[in-house]
Structure 1
Amino acid sequence: MNVLITGGAGFLGLQLARLLLKRGTLNLDGKAVTIDRLTLLDVVAPQIDDARVRAVTGDLSDPAVLAQAIDRDTGAIFHLAAVVSGQAEADFDLGMRVNLDASRALLETCRQLAHAPRVVFTSSVAVYGGKLPPVVQDDTALNPQSSYGVQKAIGELLLSDYSRRGFVDGRVLRLPTISVRPGKPNAAASSFASGIIREPLSGVAANCPVAPETPLWLLSPRGAIQALVNGIELDGARIGNRRVVNLPGLSVTAAQMVEALRRVAGDAVADRVTWEREERIEKIVGTWPAAWDVSRARELGFESDASFDDVIRAYAEDAAVKL
C-alpha cells in the first residue's frame, strides 16, 4: 500500500513519517497492511533516507503534482499541509490556495481515481470563534474569526461531503494547539505557546504576547502523532456520518504554562518569560475555545497528555535538553 503525507517535510509530517516507517504497517479493517511506499508531498524535499520513501515536490494545488503523488494503490492519506494562521491572515491569496484550493484538488484527484482511500484532514480550534460556551460541544456552531479558520471550516465540510458520496473515507481531526514544537518561531498566532517554553529552556528570553489568564487548548507533538495514526486506523463505521472529531487536550492558561515550566526547570528558566501583550495575536487567540467536550473522542480511543509538566519533560527528552 502507498501512504501519502502532504506537508511531509514539516515537523509533524516528518515525525509521522518516521513513526510509520518504524511500524511498517497500518491496521486497516482488522488487518495489518504493509506500507510498501511512503510518499511525502511538500514544496521542499524532506530529508529521510529510506528506500520506501518517495518525495514529490511542488504546489499542492496543482493537479499535475497531485497526480504524481496519488494513485490507486494509495490507501491512506494524511493531509497535513497548510499555511499557518498568522500567515494566512497576512496573505489571503496564499492561504486560500494552500488551505482551500489544494484540499479541493486532493479530494478531486481521489474522486477521479475512484479508489476511496482513507483520508485524515487536520483541522483547528480556529473554526470556532465569537462568544463561546465555557465548554465547546460537538454541535457548537462554527464561527471562525480568521481567514485560516474559514479555510479549515470549508475543508471540513468538503471532506464530509466527499465521504458521504463515497469518494473518500474521510475523518477530520480538530487538533488543539501543538506545544511544545521544536525549531524556530513561525508565523502561526499560536507560535508563542511553544516559544515561551522552548526558548527559555535553551537559555533565551521569550515574550508571551497574551494576558497571563488567556486559556489555551494544548496537545503535545507525541500526542498529535499518535492521534493521527489512531485517526487513520479508526473504522469508518464507528465514525458514522459525523466525520469530525474534537481531539482531547489540556486546558491551561499562559500563566499555568509558565508555572509548569518553573516546576520542571526552575525559577531562572521561567523568569526568562516576559509579558508584553500584542493586540494582533490576542485578537486571533482570544476567539479560540479553551475547553472542549471530548467524550466522543475518548470513546473512539483518542487520549490527551496527562499534564503540561509531562509535556515539557517529553519535549526536553526529545530535544535532548538537560533539565
Structure 2
Amino acid sequence: MNILIIGGGGVVGQKLAAKLADNGTLRGQPISKLTLADINDPASVAASFPVETTTCNIADADSVAQVVTADTDVIYLLAAIVSAHAEEDFDAGWQINMMGTMHVLERARALGTKPVVVFTSSIAVFGGEVPDPIIDHTFLNPQTSYGAQKAVGELLINDYSRKGFIDGRGFRLPTISVRPGKPNRAASSFMSSILREPLNGQSANCPVDGDFLHYYLSPRKCVENLIKGAEIPEDDLGQNRCMMMPGRMWSVRELIDAMTAVAGPEPAKLITWDAQPDIQAIVKGWRFDLRPEKAIKLGLEADGSFEDNIRYYLEDDKPAA
C-alpha cells in the first residue's frame, strides 16, 4: 500500500502520517511506502516502512505529476489555503483550493489507476438561506470564497468517482481544536488559540462573544476518522461521496469551561475579549446545526466531550516546560 499525503507538512498531515506509521496498515494491507508532500519540505516521521518527503505546489500541474505516480494507491488531499487567506487573496484561493484539486484529479485520470482519494472539505460549504438542521443532503450554499472553492472540490470528487477515474470520498471537517503550533490565517484560528495559548501560559484574544456556537472536533479524532474514511468500501459510499465528519457543537464559553475543568482557573484569566468585526463577518456566516448521520452510520465518530479535546492537547501536543 503506497500512500501520498498532499499537505503532509500541516498539523493534520503530520498527525495522520504518525498514526499511519504506528498502525503499519491501511485498507487491510501493509503500508509499503508513505510520501509526505507540501509546499515546503515537510518533516518526516519514524516508521517501519520507507517514508519520503518532498515539495509539491498543487497549483502547478507539473509539480503534482511528480508526486502522484502510477503506484500511488491512496491520496490524502489535505493541502489548501485557509478561510481568511482565501477571502483576502481571491486569485490564490481559486488557484490552490480549486485548481489544485483539479490538478490532482486530472493526474489520477491520466494515469488510469483509480486511486483512493480522500479529500478534506469544510463545513464552510454551507450557509445562507438554507433551513436548519443541516443534513447530509442539504444543498451547498457557501458564503465565502473558501467555501465556494471547497464546494467545487466536492462536485469534482463526485464526478470523477462517478466516471471511475478515482475512488473518491470527501469529508467536511469541523473546526479542529485544540490545534498545536501557532495561529494561522484561518478565520477559525482563535478557536484553538484562546485555549492553546492560555494552556501554555500565554495571553490570547477572543474576537467573538462567549455565546458564539460552533462545531468542533479534536485533531486525534480527525485523524482516526480520516483513516476510517479511507477504509470505507466503495459500495457503501453511495452516489454522494462527500459528507460531514462528525463533530459536536459548543459555545466559546463551554470551551473555556472545559479548559477550566481540566486545567484549573488560571488559563482562562489570560483571555481578552476584543471584538474583531472582520473575523465575526466570516464565522457568523457559517451554519452550525449539523447532523452528520451518514458518516456516523459508516463508523466515524465525534469526541465525547470538549474536556477530551483539552486532555488530548495536553497529552499529545503541549510543549514541555
The answer to whether the superposition gives a TM-score over 0.5 is yes
Cα deviation, residue 273, structure 1 = 1.3
1:33 to 2:49 alignment = no
Cα deviation, residue 192, structure 1 = 0.4
With the length of structure 2 as denominator, give the TM-score of the two structures.
0.96
Q: C-alpha distance in 2, partners of 1:280/1:109?
A: 37
**Match runs of 1:234-313 below 5 Å:** 234-313=232-311
Aligned to 2:102: 104
Aligned to 1:56: 54
SS at match of 1:173: strand
The answer to which of 253-262 and 125-134 deviates more is 125-134
Equivalent AA in structure 1 for residue 169 of structure 2: R
1:218 to 2:216 alignment = yes
1:315 to 2:321 alignment = no
SS at match of 2:37: strand
**Match runs of 1:173-188 below 5 Å:** 173-188=171-186
TM-aligned CA distance change 1:145 to 1:139, over 3 Å: same
Give the total of aligned pairs.
319
SS at match of 2:5: strand
Equivalent AA in structure 1 for residue 234 of structure 2: G
Deviation track 1:62-96 (CA, whole Å, cap 9, x = no partner) reads 22222221122111010000000011111111111
Deviation track 1:156-210 (CA, whole Å, cap 9, x = no partner) reads 0011000000000000101100000001111000000000100111111111111
Aligned to 2:42: 46
SS at match of 2:210: coil
SS at match of 1:98: helix
- Residue pair 1:223, 1:305 contacting (<8 A) in 2 also: yes
SS at match of 2:266: helix
Cα deviation, residue 321, structure 1 = 6.1
- Residue pair 2:97, 2:149 contacting (<8 A) in 1 also: yes
TM-aligned CA distance change 1:322 to 1:114, over 3 Å: closer
Equivalent AA in structure 2 for residue 20 of structure 1: L
Deviation track 1:114-158 (CA, whole Å, cap 9, x = no partner) reads 011110000001101114434211122211111100000000001
Equivalent AA in structure 2 for residue 214 of structure 1: F
Aligned to 1:66: 64
TM-aligned CA distance change 1:214 to 1:87, over 3 Å: same
Q: C-alpha distance in 2, partners of 1:287/1:264?
A: 31
- Residue pair 1:201, 1:321 contacting (<8 A) in 2 also: no
How well do the aligned residues superpose, as a CA RMSD in angstroms? 1.5
SS at match of 1:245: strand
Equivalent AA in structure 2 for residue 135 of structure 1: P
SS at match of 2:22: helix
Q: C-alpha distance in 2, partners of 1:211/1:71?
A: 48
Percent identical across equivalent pairs?
46
Q: C-alpha distance in 2, partners of 1:100/1:214?
A: 30
- Residue pair 1:56, 1:68 contacting (<8 A) in 2 also: no
SS at match of 1:267: coil
Aligned to 1:19: 19
Q: What residue ranges of structure 1 are gaps of 5+ in the alignment? A: none
Deviation track 1:230-270 (CA, whole Å, cap 9, x = no partner) reads 11111010011111111111100111111111222222211
SS at match of 2:118: strand
Q: C-alpha distance in 2, partners of 1:230/1:77?
A: 14
